[in-house]
């Protein structure tokens, strides 16, 4: 049932994209964007809010804040992680005036807590926690529904240093609605 919903959503987004007119230039210098998003990681779910600003017609500065929650493998239990990523995106290619694909290069810093709510075999005390930092690379796609609104699809993979508590190779996959403004 969930798979049918996902396919229906993709089909509807594609149909809406084809029926809208592409009358505005999509990527112009000093254009801002705000994107609330929801997605998944290998061990949990992630919500995010990102801000972007085009420095040139093809290069965008990105700032992303995320909150990840989930149930990790044995010994981790329930966990939460709060992250901030800063970096840039460069346009790889576009399909007409409706679909734009960008390569992302970000630096991710995050605070992680595991064994929350007394899960993971912990007997009282403080939940293990820590900070981690590392590079985050990915692809970001905009599918425009109208001149100032697009569906944003992201897939990112990173590598973390400083003894990460949850995952050394985190992956993020999300969908969001991106609002473009001046």
What are the tens digits of pLDDT across the range 129-156? 888 999 999 999 999 998 889 999 999 9
Confidence at residue 140, expressed as pLDDT on a 0 to 100 scale:
94
Confidence at residue 37, expressed as pLDDT on a 0 to 100 scale:
95
Taking residues 2-22, what's their average pLDDT?
51
Widest CA span in the chain: 61
Q: List the structure tokens of 13.
A: 């987004």
Q: Cβ-count burial of 164 within 10 angstroms (0-12 exposed, 13-18 middle, 19+ buried)?
A: buried
Residue 96: band (very low, low, confident or very high) from pLDDT cuts 50, 70, 90: confident
Task: Between 4 and 176, name the one with better pLDDT.
Answer: 176
Residue 101 has pLDDT above 80, yes or no: yes
DSSP state of 19: H
Residue 91 has pLDDT above 70, yes or no: yes
Taking residues 61-78, what's their average pLDDT?
83
Residue 18 has pLDDT above 50, yes or no: no
């Amino acid at each position: 049932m969930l798979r049918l919903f996902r396919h229906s959503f993709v089909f509807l987004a594609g149909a809406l994209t084809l029926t809208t007119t592409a009358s505005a230039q999509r990527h112009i210098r000093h254009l801002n964007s705000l994107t609330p998003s929801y997605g998944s990681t290998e061990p949990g779910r992630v919500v995010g809010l990102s801000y972007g600003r085009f420095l040139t017609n093809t290069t965008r500065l990105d700032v992303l804040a995320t909150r990840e929650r989930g149930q990790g493998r044995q010994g981790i239990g329930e966990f939460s992680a709060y992250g901030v990523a800063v970096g840039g995106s460069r346009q790889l290619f576009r399909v007409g005036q409706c679909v734009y694909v960008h390569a992302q290069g970000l630096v991710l810093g995050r605070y992680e807590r595991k064994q929350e709510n007394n899960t993971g075999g912990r007997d009282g005390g403080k939940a293990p926690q820590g900070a981690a930092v590392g590079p985050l690379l990915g692809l970001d796609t905009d599918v425009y529904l109208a001149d100032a609104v697009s569906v944003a699809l992201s897939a990112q993979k990173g590598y973390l240093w400083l003894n990460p508590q949850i995952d050394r190779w985190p992956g993020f996959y999300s969908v969001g609605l991106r609002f473009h403004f001046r």
